[in-house]
């Protein structure tokens, strides 16, 4: 049972016995004692004052005295500040907690719920490589999946690839016209970048055609529709829809090139999926569901043959589900994807990691899935996150307008190698392979932590220079703290075998560290409830700061009392353990030395 629950039970029983009043759970309010006051846990007295009819300070002192007699093994002392009772928890309690935390791989992990939760993230298009927006999306999705696993969910990580449509045909057509049979292998380019170049090339020639048509006297809107390249791309899309074998073969070949490139990017980023779905498979399933809903009277058909859902009863408007020519829209595809997912996995909850510009879309999707009888429809969670940008001129972009994910990761690793060169070169027996691995871990850790520490619902500015600083609220600062602890533990490995006893004297900074470690499970729970990796990130930063403050003020290996030295090594080991667990939830590695 947690400290808070123990105290709630004791306070409730005490107030009922001593004052004869009815106590509700909401009346017993506990919070962490503010730093300027002595104590660890504060009981708010105000909810009891009107019922007991005593002055705040008097009532606080009375309850404090009574608790001290009731729980001498738990409460060491107290002090009353007006309507607040600050309780100092006994050393014995904190030392017991430390023993439970040390080396416990399950600490902070909650029991299995026997419920399935699916998290969708990434959702790329197969006409271009992943960019900075995808980086935030993937990092958030992957971290949320790990956090929910720690909260007892059986998590399925999934991706929906947008592999059909006019944008794909643009790349295909440009390759046919200007590619001269080139391949990723013949050019030495990653497949996704190779295809992305042809998407850009299509746009370049398309704009030239528009410009020429306008020069001939055509207005801009008409020119966009009448440009020969656009007409050819639309004709190609129609052939694809009709199952033309030649077009389908070309489409499969070019998509495979893209998938190979995506796989490299995902591997470098450190994210993965349990199941990947493809829009080309799901849109037809969506059409079937819409037609079924039409037969059941859930939707209606307009005179032009288009199919709509009337959502006015839900406070929304009408939503198009099938165009007049029978082709699908994004909503249709999402319904089909949901159907296939539920057939593959009997999921209890679905989480879509998609930018905040799609909030309305997912409100509608939730209602439609519920109408169609999918049990997870009402439970659908749209994890809506803000946009991420870079300061101008900070990093190159292949296209000049979009920051490429591969470029970003590569340059973060190069910057980490440059920034940590002096530190790494002083490590004994360092090999080039280990130095490169440290640069990779630190560079990607800087990128991931800087993005994940921000409230995901907010827009953010990613500053590469600031993110890789070894001081402040950054990934490298936390990684360096972990590596420092590992160095201490290696040097003190022969001193950690002495068993300390519960009567040793421990100082305020040591107690503060144990209390911070003790909070970890509640932090994991909060992060799960809020779907927020930032809760984990900022907790781990606070823990690292607390440890560095302790490390600065107190000797560990130089401590003459072997029992205290052993205790401090145990405490250091527990801190490293929780840092590693917390960073794991963020998808961030920690180096053993740096």
- Confidence at residue 401, expressed as pLDDT on a 0 to 100 scale: 59
Sequence-separated (6 or more) residues with CB below 8 Å from residue 457: 356, 384, 385, 386
Residues 89, 511: Cα–Cα separation, whole Å: 9
The DSSP element (H or E) to which 22 belongs, if any, is none
The residue whose two tokens read 């619902």 is: 457
Token pair recorded at residue 473: 């609220």
Residues 42, 80: Cα–Cα separation, whole Å: 9
Question: E strands of 149-229, at which residues?
Answer: 154-161
- Selection from 477, 474, 479, 478 nearest residue 463 by Cα: 474
User: In sequence order, what are the beta bridge partners of 300?
Assistant: 308
What are the chain's domains? Answer: 3-89 (3.30.1360.70), 163-271 (no CATH), 421-585 (1.10.730.10)
- Confidence at residue 496, expressed as pLDDT on a 0 to 100 scale: 63
- Confidence at residue 102, expressed as pLDDT on a 0 to 100 scale: 86
- Confidence at residue 107, expressed as pLDDT on a 0 to 100 scale: 95
Long-range contacts of 408-412 (CB under 8 A, 24+ apart): 408/132, 408/135, 408/447, 408/464, 409/265, 409/268, 409/269, 409/443, 409/444, 409/447, 411/464, 412/443, 412/444, 412/446, 412/447, 412/464, 412/467, 412/468
Residues 392, 463: Cα–Cα separation, whole Å: 10
Q: Cβ–Cβ contacts within 10 Å for residue 38, how many?
A: 13
Is residue 103 within 8 Å of residue 96, measured between CB atoms? Answer: no
Residues 238, 124: Cα–Cα separation, whole Å: 22
Residues 138, 162: Cα–Cα separation, whole Å: 16
Secondary structure (3-state) at 496: coil
Any idea what the Cα angle at residue 254 is, between residues 249 and 257, rounded to 5°?
130
How many alpha carbons fall within 13 Å on the CB side of residue 20? 1
What is residue 114's DSSP assignment? S
Token pair recorded at residue 284: 């037809």
pLDDT tens string for the chain (594 positions)? 688 889 999 999 999 999 998 888 899 999 999 989 999 999 999 999 988 889 999 999 999 999 999 999 999 999 999 899 999 999 999 999 999 998 799 999 999 999 999 999 999 999 999 999 999 999 999 999 999 999 999 999 999 999 998 999 999 999 999 999 999 999 999 999 999 999 999 999 999 999 999 999 999 999 999 999 999 999 999 899 899 999 999 999 999 999 999 999 999 999 999 999 999 999 999 999 999 999 999 999 999 999 999 999 999 999 999 989 888 888 999 999 999 999 999 999 999 999 999 999 999 999 999 999 998 888 899 999 998 887 764 444 444 457 899 999 999 999 999 988 877 778 888 999 999 999 999 999 999 999 999 999 999 988 888 899 888 999 999 999 999 999 999 999 876 677 888 889 999 999 999 999 999 999 999 999 999 999 999 999 999 999 999 999 999 999 999 999 999 999 999 999 999 999 999 999 999 998
Residue 339 main-chain phi, psi, to 5 deg: -60, -50
Residues 153, 173: Cα–Cα separation, whole Å: 45
Is residue 117 within 8 Å of residue 154, measured between CB atoms? Answer: yes
Sequence-separated (6 or more) residues with CB below 8 Å from residue 572: 485, 488, 489, 547, 556
- Confidence at residue 313, expressed as pLDDT on a 0 to 100 scale: 93
Distances (CA, A) of 224 to 168, 187, 201, 578: 18, 32, 16, 57
């Amino acid at each position: 049972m947690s400290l808070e629950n123990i105290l709630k039970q004791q306070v409730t029983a005490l107030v009922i016995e001593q004052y004869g009043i009815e106590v509700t759970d909401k009346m017993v309010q506990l919070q962490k004692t503010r730093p300027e006051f002595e104590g660890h846990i504060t009981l708010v007295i105000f909810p009891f004052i009107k019922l007991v009819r005593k002055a705040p300070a008097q009532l606080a002192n009375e309850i404090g005295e009574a608790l001290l007699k009731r729980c001498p093994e738990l409460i060491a002392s107290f002090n009353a500040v007006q309507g607040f009772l600050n309780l100092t928890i006994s050393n014995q309690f904190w030392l017991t907690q430390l023993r439970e935390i040390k080396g416990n791989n399950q600490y902070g992990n909650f029991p299995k719920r026997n419920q399935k939760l699916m998290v969708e993230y990434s959702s790329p298009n197969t006409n271009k490589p992943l960019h900075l927006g995808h980086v935030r999306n993937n990092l958030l999705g992957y971290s949320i999946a790990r956090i929910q696993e720690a909260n007892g969910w059986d998590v399925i990580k999934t991706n929906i690839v947008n592999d059909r449509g006019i944008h794909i045909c643009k790349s295909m057509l440009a390759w046919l016209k200007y590619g001269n049979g080139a391949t990723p292998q013949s050019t030495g380019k990653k497949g996704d970048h190779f295809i992305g170049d042809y998407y850009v090339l299509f746009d370049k020639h398309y704009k030239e055609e528009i410009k020429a048509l306008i020069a001939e006297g055509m207005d801009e809107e008409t020119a966009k529709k009448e440009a020969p390249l656009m007409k050819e791309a639309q004709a190609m899309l129609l052939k694809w829809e009709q199952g033309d074998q030649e077009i389908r073969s070309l489409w499969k070949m070019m998509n495979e090139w893209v998938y190979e490139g995506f796989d490299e990017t995902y591997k470098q980023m450190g994210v993965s999926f349990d199941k990947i779905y493809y829009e080309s498979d799901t849109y037809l399933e969506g059409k079937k569901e819409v037609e079924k809903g039409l037969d059941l009277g859930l939707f209606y058909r307009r005179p032009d043959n288009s199919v709509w859902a009337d959502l006015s009863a839900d406070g929304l408007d009408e939503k198009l589900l099938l165009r007049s020519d029978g082709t699908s829209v994004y909503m249709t595809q999402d319904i089909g994807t949901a159907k296939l997912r539920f057939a593959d996995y009997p999921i209890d909850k679905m989480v879509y990691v998609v930018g905040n510009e799609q909030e309305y879309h997912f409100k509608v999707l939730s209602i439609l899935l519920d109408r169609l009888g999918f049990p997870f429809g009402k439970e659908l969670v749209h994890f809506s996150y803000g946009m991420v940008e870079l300061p101008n001129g900070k990093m190159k972009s292949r296209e000049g307008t979009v920051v490429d994910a591969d470029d970003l990761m590569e340059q973060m690793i190069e910057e980490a190698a440059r920034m940590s060169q002096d530190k790494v070169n002083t490590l004994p027996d360092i090999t080039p392979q280990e130095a490169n691995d440290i640069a990779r871990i630190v560079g990607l850790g800087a990128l991931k932590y800087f993005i994940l520490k921000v409230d995901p619902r907010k827009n953010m500015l990613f500053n590469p220079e600031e993110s890789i600083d070894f001081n402040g609220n950054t990934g490298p600062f936390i990684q360096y703290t972990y590596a420092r602890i590992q160095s201490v533990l290696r040097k003190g490995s022969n001193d950690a075998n002495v068993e300390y006893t519960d009567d040793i004297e421990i100082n305020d900074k040591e107690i503060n560290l144990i209390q911070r470690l003790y909070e970890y499970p509640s932090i994991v729970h909060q992060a799960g409830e809020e779907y927020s990796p930032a809760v984990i990130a900022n907790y781990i930063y606070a823990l690292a700061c607390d440890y560095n403050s302790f490390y600065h003020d107190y000797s560990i290996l130089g401590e003459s009392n072997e029992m205290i030295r052993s205790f401090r090594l145990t405490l250091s080991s527990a801190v490293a353990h929780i840092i590693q667990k917390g960073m794991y939830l963020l998808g961030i590695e920690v180096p053993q030395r740096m």
